[in-house]
């Protein structure tokens, strides 16, 4: 029996507002390369993002994560910020090249020591640590050997998972194998806008399978190394898809994208099979012979919960996508139309209904699986005013709408156990460098000064009362 077997009480309404279950997990989240800095300290070697960010033209303004938010050196202060917010959980990722610099062999204890100290600080602050093993920072040496399109990378990941579990498993009770394998596979190897910047439909499909295999193999290692009460999870950025019109052509466009965006992970992981329509759609790219006997048994290793990352929906129609495309096998048949409504600084539409749609879909497809919203948030053009305050009413409105959608989903019978706001800190936002700010804590990157935004104070109040006030 795991720690997530007992279903919590449902969400409620009262005169004051929307109340979440008593045991609801109120969290925030970050990723190692985006905040840690210390890129060459303690034996750490380059990841694919170190290499990619140094490649001219790949990251806005030539920014890198060398310093980022300097969390490596400011971690105790950042934990104190979390304690002041009142969060119950903190979702962080472990830097693979900080722990196992070449992706092979023994761990570097200095690297593990940082995460030991982080976990100790969190526990002392009464915050539950939630460890993500992979948030896109593949050791460059493994990419040089072929990266995720190569089968061996999945085996290397399982070895690395065992090293981290051995160091932290006595204190960390919630583990996530991979964060957003769709992005790692299709943005990294399909259209090349993320590291390592390769553009190949075949490489993207191979990478997706080997990421699924890494998840399953890693989950088996975790199950073997961790106490029976440990919670093992996977986090997916499932796409909320809507047809532009109710025509058969547009509905088929949604089917194609659902196969390569969602079901390419959901079906191997939870049903031990490949989507047959995906195999047919991609027949001109591959015969899928890289999927070997026994692979799907590994990919479908049981997990205790599923993390969902959501930011905005997508509107899909028949057409043709720009090249290079992340939509392997679908780019000749599918186009995307901007969804209506207000937009964030990322030019992403704001539509909380998409989160409710995803959560209720998963209730229907995986009715016995607890869910966590492991990322949700928005970038806006924040700045400190002359008094040093950072007002971000648009972010507050975004978060309130999406938490309302989560509450509605729980009331509709979805077993949502927690919400992790993205992100705690302004950080290195991948190919956007430091030009986009998702944090509820403002970071002046020149001085590394932290300033709680209005949204941080708002979130602290939500946590303190266990829900939302009525408008």
30-69 pLDDT tens trace: 999 999 999 999 999 999 999 999 999 999 999 999 999 9
- Continuous segment of H or E residues that includes residue 113: helix 109-124
Active site members? 375
pLDDT for residue 17? 86
Q: How far is CA 313 from the centre of its chain?
A: 16
For 153-177, write each residue's pLDDT tens digit.
999 999 999 999 999 999 999 999 9
Residue 240 burial class via C-beta count within 10 angstroms: exposed 0-12, middle 13-18, buried 19 and up: buried
Angle between helices 109-124 and 152-168 (to 10 degrees): 50
Residue 184 confidence (pLDDT) above 50: yes
Cβ atoms of 116 and 168 closer than 8 Å:
yes
pLDDT band for 25, please (50, 70, 90 cuts).
very high
Residue 331 confidence (pLDDT) above 60: yes
Compute the average pLDDT of residues 135-141: 98
Query: Running DSSP on this structure, what letter comes out for residue 104?
Result: S
For 217-269, write each residue's pLDDT tens digit.
999 999 999 999 999 999 999 999 999 999 999 999 999 999 999 999 999 99
Cα separation of 350 and 341, whole Å? 6
Choice among 14-23, 199-208, 275-284, 427-436 with the minimum mean pLDDT: 14-23
Cβ atoms of 130 and 92 closer than 8 Å:
yes
Choice among 6-10, 24-28, 75-79, 361-365 with the minimum mean pLDDT: 6-10
Compute the average pLDDT of residues 147-152: 98
Q: What are phi and psi of 10, to 5 degrees?
A: -75, 170
pLDDT for residue 442? 98
Q: Does the global pTM surpass 0.85?
A: yes
pLDDT for residue 471? 59
pLDDT for residue 86? 98
pLDDT for residue 3? 42
* DSSP states along 332-381: TTEEEEPPSS-B-TT--B--THHHHHHHHHHHHHSTT--EEEEE------
pLDDT for residue 470? 74
CB atoms within 10 A of CB 254: 21
* DSSP states along 412-470: TT--EEEEEEE-SB----GGGTTS----SEEEETTTTEEEE-HHHHHHHHHHHHTEEE-
Q: How far is CA 91 from the centre of its chain?
A: 10
Mean pLDDT, the chain, whole residue set: 96
């Amino acid at each position: 029996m795991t720690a997530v077997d007992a279903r919590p009480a449902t969400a409620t309404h009262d005169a004051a507002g929307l109340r979440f279950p008593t045991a609801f997990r109120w969290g925030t989240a970050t990723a190692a390369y985006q905040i840690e800095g210390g890129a060459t300290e303690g034996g750490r070697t380059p990841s694919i993002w170190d290499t990619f960010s140094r490649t001219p033209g790949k990251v806005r303004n030539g920014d890198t994560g060398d310093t980022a938010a300097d969390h490596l050196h400011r971690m105790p202060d950042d934990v104190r910020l979390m304690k002041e917010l009142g969060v119950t959980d903190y979702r962080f990722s472990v830097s693979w090249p900080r722990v196992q610099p070449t992706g092979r062999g023994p761990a570097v204890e200095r690297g593990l020591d940082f995460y030991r100290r982080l976990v100790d600080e969190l526990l002392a602050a009464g915050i539950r640590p939630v460890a993500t093993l992979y948030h896109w920072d593949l050791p460059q040496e493994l990419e040089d050997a072929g990266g995720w399109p190569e089968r061996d990378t999945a085996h290397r990941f399982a070895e690395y998972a065992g090293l981290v579990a051995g160091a932290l498993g006595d204190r960390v009770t919630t583990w996530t194998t991979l964060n957003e394998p769709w992005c790692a596979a299709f943005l990294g190897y399909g259209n090349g806008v993320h590291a390592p910047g390769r553009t190949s439909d075949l490489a993207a499909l191979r990478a997706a399978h080997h990421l699924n295999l890494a998840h399953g193999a890693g989950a088996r290692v975790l199950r073997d190394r961790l106490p029976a009460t440990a919670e093992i999870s996977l986090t997916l950025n499932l796409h909320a898809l809507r047809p532009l019109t109710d025509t058969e052509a547009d509905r088929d466009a949604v089917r194609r994208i659902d196969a390569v965006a969602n079901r390419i992970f959901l079906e191997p992981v939870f049903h031990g099979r490949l989507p047959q329509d995906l195999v047919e759609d991609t027949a001109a790219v591959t015969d899928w012979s890289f999927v070997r006997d026994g692979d799907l048994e590994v990919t479908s290793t049981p997990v205790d919960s599923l993390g969902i990352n959501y930011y905005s929906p997508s509107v899909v129609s028949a057409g043709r996508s720009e090249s290079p495309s992340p939509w392997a096998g679908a780019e000749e048949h599918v186009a995307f139309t901007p969804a209506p409504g207000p937009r964030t600084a990322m030019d992403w539409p704001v539509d909380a209904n998409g989160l409710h749609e995803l959560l209720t879909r998963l209730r229907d497809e995986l009715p016995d699986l607890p869910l966590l919203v492991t990322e949700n948030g928005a970038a806006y053009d924040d700045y400190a005013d002359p008094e040093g305050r950072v007002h971000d009413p648009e972010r507050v409105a975004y978060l309130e709408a999406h938490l309302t959608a989560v509450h509605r989903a729980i009331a509709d019978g979805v077993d949502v156990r927690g919400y992790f706001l993205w992100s705690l800190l302004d950080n290195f936002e991948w190919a956007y460098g430091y030009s986009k700010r998702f944090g509820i804590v403002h970071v002046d990157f020149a001085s590394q000064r932290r300033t709680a935004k209005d949204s941080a104070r708002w979130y602290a109040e939500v946590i303190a009362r266990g829900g939302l006030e009525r408008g």
